[in-house]
Amino acid sequence: MTNGNKERLVAAHNQFLQEMLIETQQSLGFARSVKEMKFLQNKITYLKQRLKGIK
């Protein structure tokens, strides 16, 4: 894998994680139970940590 391909792959993965984070944050407002809310909060935390690790 060339360096340019690796950078594009990382950028695409970063974009995917950002989109997942936005969708999860929006879903949090529609959570119907505490269990679902906790799950979404944990997912948001996980995605934020992954995004920090990539940059």
Q: What is the pLDDT of residue 1?
A: 65
Of 23, 29, 16, nearest in space to 43 by CA: 23
Question: Look-up: residue for tokens 């969708």?
Answer: 23
Q: What DSSP line would sit under 1-55, residue for residue?
A: --HHHHHHHHHHHHHHHHHHHHHHHHHHTT--SHHHHHHHHHHHHHHHHHHHHH-
> What domain range includes position 19?
3-54
Q: What is the pLDDT of residue 13?
A: 93
As given in the structure block, the two tokens for residue 38 are 């906790």
Contact at 8 Å (CB) between 54 and 14?
yes
Q: What is the pLDDT of residue 48?
A: 96
Q: How many domains does the chain have?
A: 1
pLDDT in tens, the chain (55 residues): 688 898 999 899 999 999 999 999 999 999 999 999 999 999 999 999 999 986 5
